Amino acid sequence: MADADPGIFAALIAVREIAAGDLDAALREATTPFVVRGLVADWPLVQAAQRSAAEARGYLLAQARQRAFPVSVGGEGDGRLFYDAAMAMNFRMMNAGLAEIFARIEEGEASGAGPAIYLGSIDVHDYFDGLHAANHVDLGDRQPTASIWIGTRTRIAAHNDLPHNLACVAAGRRRFTLFPREQFANLYLGPVDNTPAGRAISMVDFHAPDLDRFPRFADALAAAQVAELAAGDALYIPALWWHHVEALEAFNILLNYWWRDSPRWMGDPQDALNHAMLAIRDLPADQRAHWRAMYDAYVFESGDAAAHIPEGSRGILGSMTAEVAGRLRAYLLRRLSR
Return the sign of the alpha-carbon dihedral for residues 201, 77, 72, 235. negative
Pairing label, strands 34-36, 80-81: unpaired
Condensed to tens digits (0 to 9), the pLDDT of residues 101-132 reads 999 999 999 988 899 999 999 999 999 999 99
Q: Where are the alpha helices (DSSP H) in the chain?
A: 23-29, 44-51, 53-63, 98-111, 124-127, 131-134, 217-222, 269-279, 285-295, 322-336
How is the chain split into domains, by residue range? 6-259, 269-336
Average of per-residue pLDDT across 158-184: 98
Q: Where are the beta strands (DSSP E) in 60-112?
A: 69-74, 80-81, 91-96
pLDDT at 13 over 90: no
Would you say residue 11 has pLDDT above 70? no
- Express each pLDDT in 228-239 by its tens digit: 999 999 999 999
| Residues 274-309 pLDDT 10s | 999 999 999 999 999 999 999 999 999 866 888 899
**Structure confidence at residue 1 as a pLDDT band (50, 70, 90):** very low
Query: How deeply is 243 buried, as exposed, middle or buried, from its count of CB atoms within 10 A (0-12, 13-18, 19+)?
Result: buried
Mean pLDDT: which of 34-48, 306-320, 322-336 is highest? 34-48
Q: Tell me what percent of the residues of the chain surpass a pLDDT of 90.
A: 86
The pLDDT value recorded for residue 255 is: 98
Cα–Cα distance, 138 to 38 (Å, whole number)? 15
Residue 95 vs residues 66, 101, 118, 123, 232: alpha-carbon distances, Å:
12, 9, 12, 15, 29
In single-letter form, the type of residue at position 136 comes to H
| CB atoms inside a 10 Å sphere around CB 71 | 22
CATH of 6-259, one of 3.60.15.10, 2.30.110.10, 1.10.10.10, 2.60.120.10: 2.60.120.10
DSSP string, 138-154: --TT--PEEEEEEESSE
41: DSSP letter: T
Query: CA torsion sign, 220 to 2 to 7 to 12?
Result: positive
